[in-house]
Chains A and B, each alone.
Chain A
Amino acid sequence: MLRLASLLTLFFAVLAPAHAAPVLTVYTYESFTADWGPGPAVKKAFEAKCGCEVRFVSLADGVAILNRLKMEGKNSEADIVLGLDTNLTAEARNTNLFAPHGADISTVTIPNGWSDPNFLPFDFAHFAVIYDSEKIKNPPKSLDELVNGNPAEKIVIQDPRTSTPGLGLLLWMRSVYGDKAPDAWKKLSKRVLTVTPGWSEAYGLFTKGEAPMVFSYTTSPAYHMIEEKTDRYQAAAFSEGHYLQIEVAGIMASSKQPALAKDFLKFMVSTEFQDIIPTTNWMMPAAKTSARIPEAFGKLVNPSKSFLFTPEEVASKRKVWTEEWQASMAQ
């Protein structure tokens, strides 16, 4: 055991480059740092100009990142936290661990605008129902049509208690139906094939052909069009409008490299960073890009109306709304 531990230590010591340059530690989520994700290109581009080393620590998702910060508090190694979404920022702000980002937000192009002093967006997407065009010829044109549609045509959704898209659908239903959401959920439940703990399980069932619809993002078809060269999977445009997910980053107040961290956030909303986002993170850029975004992104559903509860509303209502959801779905 001891020998293994020392071998492992040695192994990692060899892996770690012997840099004297300052290290900027960025907590983020796994798919950001994957080989095909934005991480490697972002690291390379920023290191070329900062004279520093970017170190990613990747956790499962935004919720896991926030929990890690709550555990670590002021002792955290993180300088930058990248990958929370606006449903988590109220809770994140309440930890008092974040410093103002101090960046110029005039370049930020987010539907409904942006004004948060602590968190800066790096990408966004709208939630959407993705359907298999080989199986569904008349996709629902509104959330209401989805709710009241043919129960034999099934959809796979995610659990709001464990998953970010699951929470997104919960908030979307609230935005459209208000206090009548529980009734709408009861109707929708007849079309729900199953409720999965995360996005991966749901999307896996969908691509296996178990259900002709799945809850995901407006940007999902872009992946299939660009990487798999197929138009088969499309997003259904809903007339009421779509719920928005905005992914953000912030600077830790405890960071020992505050200047470097500020530079990173500035870099994050620059064209160089934003150019990387669309085809690596499969999300919409949150600021101007220089390169033309691939054509496929132009074909995506572009909602005319975006729903978004304030982070404070989400923080105070999430529990009650989730319990309501559970009660109406369990019947």
Chain B
Amino acid sequence: MASQHGSIGKNWPSAGALLALAVLALIALPALVALGWSSPGMGSTSASFLWQAASFTLFQAVLSTLISVVLGVLLARAISRRQFFGRGFLLRLFALPQGLPALVAVLALVSLYGRAGFISRFWPELPSIYGLNGILLAHVFFNLPYAALLTLIALQQVPREQWRLAQMLGMSERAIFRVIEWPVLQNALPGIAGLIFMLCVTSFTIVLTLGGGPAATTLELAIYQALRFDYDPGLALALAMGQIGLCALLLSFLAKFRPPFAETARLSLGPERASLSRSGNPVPDMIIIILSALFILLPILSVILSGLTADFSRLLTERILWRAIATSGGIAFTAALIAVLIAYPLALAAIRLESKGAVKKARIFEAPVELTLLLPPVLLGAGWFLILMPSTSSVGYAPVLIVLINAIMALPFVYRSLAVSLRRLVAHEDPLCESLGIAGWSRFSLIDWPILKPAFRAAFTFAFLLSFGDFGVIAFFGSDSIVTLPFLIYQRLGSYRTDDAAGIALVLAVFSILMTQAFSAFGRKEHAHD
């Protein structure tokens, strides 16, 4: 990692970034080529169906993103200026929903908002969860906490002096938003919105299960159908490329809203704004915080409660459960580590280029990371399978491929989590380090690491949780030596063992919560360093 600091002065990125880009390309491109190559002759799908699928995909994704981001900003602002009991605990839990397997989350939401749900019992007029409502509800549950978390990281980049100044000047909330918060948000929001948008585009189980019927049909379903029932890898690839093209257009549109890289004053950071400014009426803030906390925590609580009915005296003696915990943990840990190692040099290179005004070049390092999210993991799995298959038992490669594909899927999250802190690092430390001639490992260990540590922890936690709850690729390889927790959940649900599945979901949730509390940096002392 040290190598990339050697080339600060040049307008071209480091060897580390190029290497990361090459690794990324090596994981993704051969699989895609193999899929196109193997295709026996591409079938077609009706244009009217594609039109319907594409328009519904975009419609629900845009709506889901808008709601998640707007609510996320409101929540982040409220949290940023209030201090309350359990603040750190709550923030660390915000990483959790993204890590829940989709089906577990859907069933949890249904047990609250469904026709027989807990909330519907007290509030019978609640609109039906099946249809667009349910899709939006589930997507906001997944993405609101994520949007809030990233927005909060961005807001924490505001120097403490600015808050002090605002307080001294007696600035109104409106003025604070316009002068202090908005410039920060303007930098961060396009990236956050883009990421959430892509998550909603590729959402599969949620859209189908809660969608109510084939009127809610997405491109992801068309890809899945082409690859499965029609076994037409060429068509699946073409559809995936169409989806990527469509999203690339939208992302480049979003990128226009990003302001040019601006050098901010080198001031000490004030992450704990809450301890400085207690201005304004706390009631609206607390209402937002309490409602959001209920919205995010109730489904998690529901996962835990419905899991308690399971027969743990038997479940916990099953060796396969412990093996699954170890396997899931091992895969998630390795995948998260790889994701951080690839994302860091890429993000650093992109932001350095951007800081020098080479915006187009910066996009070369940023865009591939963002767009990998749009490649369905099964598609990558199928491609790699085709490549490795003739040589030897494919099962031997399965663990390596599962780790790599999980790492790729986590990249965009890691990238976003690192990007905000990196912007500040590049703006503040690069000129200083250059003038002092600090470079290489000494710079990374003395200057960068202390600043980036919280961001690294957040990024790693996210990537870990995502892989920990991921089901996608594992089913494809069908090796009996690899059994993960999500796999066990689906397997038991698939053979009437609903209670077992709920119990294992509880185990997964508990391990995820422990992970967030142990690793995530939020609400910790070290975050408040200057």
Q: How far is the CA of A220 from the CA of B501 in the complex (A)?
A: 18
Contacts of B478 in A (CB 8 A): 30, 57-60, 64, 68
Give 10 nearest A-B pairs by CB, closest first: A209-B116, A59-B478, A200-B493, A197-B208, A330-B215, A31-B495, A194-B130, A326-B214, A60-B475, A223-B496
Contacts of B228 in A (CB 8 A): 63-64, 67, 162
Q: How far is the CA of A68 from the CA of B477 in the complex (A)?
A: 9
When C-beta atoms are compared, the residue in chain A nearest to B480 turns out to be A58
Contacts of A138 in B (CB 8 A): none
Contact of A12 among B130, B214, B403, B481 (CB under 8 A): B481
Interface readout for B110-137 with A: 1 if CB under 8 Å, 0 if not? 1100111000000000000010000000
Kindly name the residue among B214, B382, B385 whose own CB sees the greatest number of chain A CB atoms within 10 A.
B214
When C-beta atoms are compared, the residue in chain A nearest to B38 turns out to be A71
Which residues 371-422 of B have a CB within 8 angstroms of A? 382, 385-386, 389-390, 393, 395-396, 399-400, 403
Counting CB contacts under 8 A, is A36 at the interface?
yes
On whether A64 and B481 interact (CB within 8 A), knowing A162-B228, A203-B496, the answer reads no
Q: How far is the CA of A36 from the CA of B376 in the complex (A)?
A: 32
Contacts of B110 in A (CB 8 A): 205, 208, 210
Establish whether residues B395 and A57, one from each chain, have CB atoms under 8 Å apart when the complex forms. yes
Q: How far is the CA of A4 from the CA of B103 in the complex (A)?
A: 30
Q: How far is the CA of A189 from the CA of B393 in the complex (A)?
A: 46
Contact of B229 among A63, A72, A75 (CB under 8 A): A63
Taking the nearest CB of chain B, how far is it from the CB of A78, in angstroms? 11
Taking the nearest CB of chain B, how far is it from the CB of A222, in angstroms? 10
Taking the nearest CB of chain B, how far is it from the CB of A311, in angstroms? 15
Establish whether residues B116 and A208, one from each chain, have CB atoms under 8 Å apart when the complex forms. yes
Contacts of A204 in B (CB 8 A): 103, 107, 493, 498, 501
Taking the nearest CB of chain B, how far is it from the CB of A75, in angstroms? 6
When C-beta atoms are compared, the residue in chain B nearest to A76 turns out to be B389
Chain B residues with CB under 8 Å of chain A are 38, 46, 49, 52, 103, 106-107, 110-111, 114-116, 130, 204-205, 208-215, 217, 221, 224-225, 227-231, 318, 320, 330, 334, 338, 382, 385-386, 389-390, 393, 395-396, 399-400, 403, 475-476, 478-481, 490-491, 493-498, 501
Establish whether residues A211 and B103, one from each chain, have CB atoms under 8 Å apart when the complex forms. no
Contacts of A238 in B (CB 8 A): none
Q: How far is the CA of A227 from the CA of B106 in the complex (A)?
A: 26
Interface readout for A161-195 with B: 1 if CB under 8 Å, 0 if not? 11000000000000000000000000001001111
Counting CB contacts under 8 A, is A77 at the interface?
yes
Counting CB contacts under 8 A, is A33 at the interface?
yes
Q: How far is the CA of A35 from the CA of B500 in the complex (A)?
A: 13
A-B CB contact pairs (8 Å), 14 listed: A35-B320, A59-B475, A64-B228, A71-B382, A159-B208, A161-B221, A192-B212, A198-B494, A203-B496, A204-B498, A318-B229, A325-B214, A330-B52, A331-B215
Contacts of B393 in A (CB 8 A): 77
Q: How far is the CA of A220 from the CA of B330 in the complex (A)?
A: 36
When C-beta atoms are compared, the residue in chain A nearest to B46 turns out to be A323
Counting CB contacts under 8 A, is A243 at the interface?
no
Contacts of A197 in B (CB 8 A): 204-205, 208-209, 221
On whether A201 and B213 interact (CB within 8 A), knowing A1-B334, A4-B403, A60-B478, the answer reads no
- List 8 extra interface pairs beyond A195-B212, A203-B496, CB under 8 A: A8-B399, A60-B476, A161-B229, A197-B204, A200-B490, A201-B209, A204-B107, A326-B49
Q: How far is the CA of A162 from the CA of B211 in the complex (A)?
A: 15
Establish whether residues B382 and A162, one from each chain, have CB atoms under 8 Å apart when the complex forms. no
Which residues 1-50 of A have a CB within 8 angstroms of B? 1, 4-5, 8-9, 12, 15, 30-31, 33-37
Counting CB contacts under 8 A, is A66 at the interface?
yes
Report whether over half of chain A's contact residues are helix, strand or loop; otherwise say mixed: helix
Q: How far is the CA of A33 from the CA of B491 in the complex (A)?
A: 10
Establish whether residues B208 and A162, one from each chain, have CB atoms under 8 Å apart when the complex forms. yes
Counting CB contacts under 8 A, is A329 at the interface?
yes
Establish whether residues B389 and A210, one from each chain, have CB atoms under 8 Å apart when the complex forms. no
Counting CB contacts under 8 A, is A199 at the interface?
yes
Counting CB contacts under 8 A, is A207 at the interface?
yes
Establish whether residues B208 and A30, one from each chain, have CB atoms under 8 Å apart when the complex forms. no
Q: How far is the CA of A43 from the CA of B209 in the complex (A)?
A: 36
Counting CB contacts under 8 A, is A257 at the interface?
no
Taking the nearest CB of chain A, how far is it from the CB of B335, in angstroms? 10
Contacts of B204 in A (CB 8 A): 197
Establish whether residues B334 and A196, one from each chain, have CB atoms under 8 Å apart when the complex forms. no
Chain A residues with CB under 8 Å of chain B are 1, 4-5, 8-9, 12, 15, 30-31, 33-37, 56-60, 63-64, 66-68, 70-72, 75, 77, 154, 159, 161-162, 189, 192-201, 203-205, 207-211, 220, 223-224, 227, 282, 318-319, 323, 325-326, 329-331
Establish whether residues A194 and B213, one from each chain, have CB atoms under 8 Å apart when the complex forms. yes
Establish whether residues B107 and A208, one from each chain, have CB atoms under 8 Å apart when the complex forms. yes
Contacts of A326 in B (CB 8 A): 49, 214, 217
Contact of A195 among B116, B211, B320, B495 (CB under 8 A): B211
On whether A208 and B399 interact (CB within 8 A), knowing A15-B481, A64-B228, A326-B49, the answer reads no
Contacts of A195 in B (CB 8 A): 208, 211-214
Contact of B231 among A9, A56, A70, A200 (CB under 8 A): A70
Establish whether residues A30 and B214, one from each chain, have CB atoms under 8 Å apart when the complex forms. no
Q: How far is the CA of A280 from the CA of B501 in the complex (A)?
A: 18
Contacts of A329 in B (CB 8 A): 213-215
Contacts of B382 in A (CB 8 A): 71
Q: How far is the CA of A33 from the CA of B107 in the complex (A)?
A: 26
Taking the nearest CB of chain A, how far is it from the CB of B346, in angstroms? 18
Taking the nearest CB of chain B, how far is it from the CB of A27, in angstroms? 8
When C-beta atoms are compared, the residue in chain B nearest to A206 turns out to be B498
Taking the nearest CB of chain B, how far is it from the CB of A5, in angstroms? 5
Contacts of B481 in A (CB 8 A): 12, 15
Contact of B214 among A205, A220, A223, A330 (CB under 8 A): A330
Establish whether residues A161 and B225, one from each chain, have CB atoms under 8 Å apart when the complex forms. yes
When C-beta atoms are compared, the residue in chain B nearest to A13 turns out to be B396
When C-beta atoms are compared, the residue in chain A nearest to B320 turns out to be A35
Kindly name the residue among B225, B229, B231, B338 whose own CB sees the greatest number of chain A CB atoms within 10 A.
B229
Q: How far is the CA of A194 from the CA of B206 in the complex (A)?
A: 12
Q: How far is the CA of A71 from the CA of B497 in the complex (A)?
A: 32
Q: How far is the CA of A112 from the CA of B396 in the complex (A)?
A: 43
Kindly name the residue among B400, B476, B495 whose own CB sees the greatest number of chain A CB atoms within 10 A.
B495
Contacts of A330 in B (CB 8 A): 52, 213-215, 217
